[in-house]
Structure 1
């Protein structure tokens, strides 16, 4: 049976209120009485509840982190960066995974508010078409600082840390063009998300800058899942005038492309070149050299956590001036971008 404050009070011969003052280091307690309480705590092997302490202090030493895909290495590395900074400041994390479900995200936000956390780091799963009055009211009335990580909340302004998706996509497609490719397809993410729109914009920008016509039949609309990318890649490989290269807008979709290539005996880059957005660690492990745009995910997590800490230290729950930071991605070439006639 768990030891309670009442057990300590009885053992020390003091009131429950006195034990509470000792535990929370609040209010006056005689040294002799304090020693009795501490002795009872030690003898009974009592561990104070962090939740109970937070209720008395009206806040916790905890930060909420909300992500849409915990199984995606992209978010795993962001969380790693967040956790590194949190450890340095003795902060705890509560992690919520929404599975890209707006209702789950709404539930997570309400839960975190009930836990009296100090602030929230979030990559919103909500898309331009998903927002509703309950969601907007909830996130705008949390009463605690919110920092966005590479995601946006339509109709609202929050501090945030983002990747320059246009530059990343532009660099990838420019590299393919420099290698000699002119027939370049793109598999986009969900077009109701800003990163997907910006990556498509970067793709088009690179083609325009190099006087290559934008062919609508080479633009394929995905949804960030490997299943959808697999089906799209099958379609691409059946095209009469098929492209010689594909720019894939997410790491998970790259896996779908690879599966389709394997089934159709397509060799990279001999039969088809490919560059993805974000790395796929498993491909490195098995020695498959796929070029990719490397988003600074760990740095993004660190930067977002530091931004939140700065806000907390300022004592403001909301910012009069919204601060956003855009981090530059890097192109990592491994040979899959080559043009082989």
Structure 2
């Protein structure tokens, strides 16, 4: 198939027998061109299928209305409410978001940042591929040099430079730990994110703290994954094949919880035999009358706060960076 070429101002000028300057003026400053000339040029533009270059218009106006939003995985339902919140907040301020999914790849994340910088975005909301303490991507120096407004969301780099909108992960672990204590749970299989992830470490710490505070012994076996469904399914299935059953399974995010539940279902292990808890509500679970106790976060608010901080910095480059923390709420049943 032959690739369709994009009509240009030069094409229109050639078509109507006028100069590029006249065509450009008719398209961008129509009041500066005689009505009959303007109509002739606009008719030719429609005929040739001319589409204005929005990026070039941004550069000409010297006021870019683009916001970059970089996520580690749009497959993760956690991000759907975040993206919706950022998009709506941006629209209210006449900004447009440019969404880039890195799919958990540091290389794609590097390209994403370079792409957004090349588009001269007004600011970036960034959820990095890793929040491990030793993760220091090369693009950090580029961001610092540009002094571009940046807000980190959920996962954060271990640097003090940027504002951040995060979850209270210790509280999430603690709330579910307190619930498990009340349910007389003693042996927990924790299906977590990467072992070096600070989110993982905080949620695990909160779980253990709740048992310690209650003076109850806890046996916890950690199976680290990458916050996606398939590794959780594999680890849960492998655990069951060893002939072991925990009292409870703790999924450290929605996809992990779903992966664990699928493996339990395939092994014909009922949730009467093994309790399942997780961080954040499972999407659409209520349709199937599935009740999974969870520590739920207002992820829409998380996205909204991230944009609000970014907009503050765009409006006032001297604004001090800050942190917004979203607390968790225990949802012990579908009716809560």
Report TM bin, short chain.
0.7 to 0.9
Structure 1: stretches of 5+ with no match in the other structure = 337-341
2:280 equivalent among 278, 281, 298: 278
Which segment is superposed worse, 117-126 or 219-228? 219-228
Aligned to 2:324: 325
1:167 equivalent among 171, 196, 203: 171
Secondary structure (helix, strand or coil) at the match of 1:144 reads: coil
8 Å CA contact retained: 1:59, 1:117:
no
Instruction: Note if 1:231 corresponds to 2:234.
Output: yes
Distance 2:189 2:137 in 1: 38
8 Å CA contact retained: 1:184, 1:243:
yes
Aligned to 2:248: 245
| Two-structure CA RMSD over aligned residues (Å) | 2.9
- Measure how far apart 1:113 and its partner are: 0.7
Distance 1:335 1:12 in 2: 66
Q: How does 1:131-150 map to 2 (within 5 A)?
A: 131-132=135-136, 134-150=138-154
- Measure how far apart 1:89 and its partner are: 1.9
Aligned to 2:293: 291
User: Is the alpha carbon distance of 1:211 and 1:71 closer, same or farther for their aligned partners in structure 2, counting shifts above 3 Å?
Assistant: same
- Measure how far apart 1:310 and its partner are: 1.7
Aligned to 1:339: none
Distance 1:238 1:32 in 2: 77
- Measure how far apart 1:265 and its partner are: 1.9
- Measure how far apart 1:272 and its partner are: 0.9
Instruction: Note if 1:39 corresponds to 2:39.
Output: yes
Instruction: Note if 1:257 corresponds to 2:257.
Output: no
Secondary structure (helix, strand or coil) at the match of 2:138 reads: helix
Instruction: Note if 1:99 corresponds to 2:103.
Output: yes
1:196 equivalent among 197, 200, 213: 200
1:50 equivalent among 47, 54, 61: 54
2:93 equivalent among 76, 85, 89: 89
Which segment is superposed worse, 294-303 or 2-11? 2-11
Which segment is superposed worse, 185-194 or 34-43? 34-43
Instruction: Note if 1:115 corresponds to 2:119.
Output: yes
1:128 equivalent among 108, 111, 132: 132
Instruction: Note if 1:187 corresponds to 2:191.
Output: yes
8 Å CA contact retained: 2:264, 2:270:
yes
